Structure 1
Amino acid sequence: MEMFNQAIDMNDVTISEEDGIRYLHFGTQWIQGAMRIMRPHDLVLTYTQQMMAWLLFQEVSKDDGIAILGLGAGSLLRFCMKHTQSDLHTVEINPRVTAMCQAFFRLPQNQRSVIYHEDAESWVQDPTHFDRYRVLMVDLYDAAAQGPVCSSLAFYQGCYRCLDEQGLMTVNLFGAHESYDVNINHISQAFHGNILILPEIDEGNIVVLAFKGDDLSRTTTAMLMDQAEYIQKKYKLPARRWAKGILAEQPKT
């Protein structure tokens, strides 16, 4: 882990800066999120880019809700605010994280964006959220930043219920952590085996896609590569690499 040349403390939430990038930490050296100061809507970290891999299978309209579990530095929220017209609901248990993002990470303040200061485990079990979201992005880590803080079968079953009929979920996991197999098994059970796994990146993150609808079964290789080409041109994201990685990885999993 690199050391950074500046640090600002807000209780257990800290930030640092290096080479034009601002980083969020939860009181440790581990990076919980990042923002390029001159281009705040960019997705700086590779795994946050991969969290948008659901775009390979569908794009959302203004009537399709998006939920984000774990605010981090607000990267996914900023990107979706810029590139979609959807309502955006974010769940973040720590109000100090939200305050830090408002102060230093250009957190979008718009009527389309709502932040719930709740435990994600409880939030996904609330019937008022069932069948409500087309996309759910799950990135739930504590200060240790080793394994997700929510990983039970009941949690992922709650995620499944929060999605609408064609909904899909992306989850950030760590391949080398002991929680990885547990999470994969629980996601697969909750989503009836309809999952895809992206290749592990250098930092150890592995992003999993899980499908409630039929996008996975009806997507051909040609459709996947065509959509990747479109997404790469429109959003400047490495979607061709995602698609090739999905096709290469699935026979192994």
Structure 2
Amino acid sequence: MTAKKQTWGPATLSEFDGVRFLHLDSIWVQGAMRIRKPDQLELEYIQRMCAWMLWRDPNALAEGHAVQLGLGAAALTRFCHGQLKMRTTAVEINPEVIAACRQWFRLPANDTRLTVVNADAAAWVTDDAHLQTVDVLNVDLYDHDAAAPVLDDEDFYRACRGVLADGGLMTVNLFGRSASFARSALRIARAFGSDQVWSLAPTKEGNTVVVAGRGVQVPHREVLEQRAATIESRVKLPARKWLRLVRPLPMSILTAI
């Protein structure tokens, strides 16, 4: 018997006030790019997905391997590959999204530092070939309704931890004003350990970025402030604001572990 071929809804775009938006057969925004400034991270939550830089030496970023689970409009992929000069892998299950990013969102062709893979993120993180090969893992996995993460159980987050090298970091986009946030954050804390998970305050749209590490040593405050200043100078992202917003997970979540 031949397996039924997976079909996907069309990837479409809209434009408003100089910004191009990606949609997946719905009104919900899956990503954005300012047309005249394609290297700029347009959405605030996407900027905060880069908060992992506070936990790493900003002068050695190019040495790492960055992986995005969920391509969106390729903003993080373009940023890690183009601006940070990291070896970058993007894993996207929907071939329509990859084609749209190549046509409309300045996603470059694969090269020695960039690999875009048409694959299931769950299968990718459970492949033994990827164990401890990733320094930075960005997880942003939503379907066309953008209602809740597609992959959000404890086994998935344990597999995410498994692909991280020692000292590696994961950022995850969650909805902080939704009842599902506490459940998701608890699953992450159980997979990574409560002392290895932090969150930023929600954006005005309700997105909360959670940061989780594998054996990460938290620098002294003075070091974090220096790193934040370096990040702002180098890539023009509001890292000092991130530093004011980042917190350990609240005790109301951690007591459930």
- The TM-score, its normalising length taken from structure 2, stands at 0.89
Show the counterpart of 1:7. Answer: none
CA apart distance, 1:213 = 2.2
Show the counterpart of 1:152. Answer: 153
Show the counterpart of 1:4. Answer: none
Does the CA contact (< 8 Å) of 1:81 and 1:108 recur in 2?
Answer: no
Secondary structure of 1:17's match?
Answer: strand
Task: Note if 1:119 corresponds to 2:120.
Answer: yes
Q: Could you list the runs of 5+ residues in structure 2 that have no partner in the other structure?
A: 1-7, 252-257
CA apart distance, 1:223 = 1.5
Instruction: Find the partner of 1:204 among 183, 203, 206.
Output: 206
CA apart distance, 1:166 = 1.2
What are the residue-to-residue correspondences of 1:53-202 with 2, within 5 Å?
53-58=51-56, 59=58, 60-111=60-111, 112-193=113-194, 194-202=196-204
For 1:196, the aligned partner's letter is W
Does the CA contact (< 8 Å) of 1:36 and 1:44 recur in 2?
Answer: yes
Moved over 4 A (4+): none
For 1:245, the aligned partner's letter is L
For 1:189, the aligned partner's letter is R
Secondary structure of 1:32's match?
Answer: strand
Show the counterpart of 2:24. Answer: 26
Quick one: distance in 2 between partners of 1:210 and 1:63? 20
Quick one: distance in 2 between partners of 1:84 and 1:224? 19
Greater alpha carbon shift after TM alignment, 32-41 vs 103-112:
103-112
Does the CA contact (< 8 Å) of 2:133 and 2:165 recur in 1?
Answer: yes
For 1:133, the aligned partner's letter is V
Does the CA contact (< 8 Å) of 2:9 and 2:24 recur in 1?
Answer: no
Does the CA contact (< 8 Å) of 1:165 and 1:212 recur in 2?
Answer: yes
Return closer, same or farther for 1:251/1:197 CA change in 2, 3 Å cut-off.
closer
For 1:18, the aligned partner's letter is F
Secondary structure of 2:29's match?
Answer: coil
Show the counterpart of 2:221. Answer: 221
Greater alpha carbon shift after TM alignment, 58-67 vs 28-37:
58-67
Return closer, same or farther for 1:121/1:11 CA change in 2, 3 Å cut-off.
closer
RMSD of Structure 2 on Structure 1 (CA): 1.5
Return closer, same or farther for 1:213/1:34 CA change in 2, 3 Å cut-off.
same
Return closer, same or farther for 1:63/1:241 CA change in 2, 3 Å cut-off.
closer
Quick one: distance in 1 between partners of 2:193 and 2:87? 27
Count of aligned positions: 240
CA apart distance, 1:103 = 0.8
Show the counterpart of 2:241. Answer: 241
Quick one: percent identity of the two aligned structures? Answer: 40
Does the CA contact (< 8 Å) of 1:65 and 1:135 recur in 2?
Answer: yes
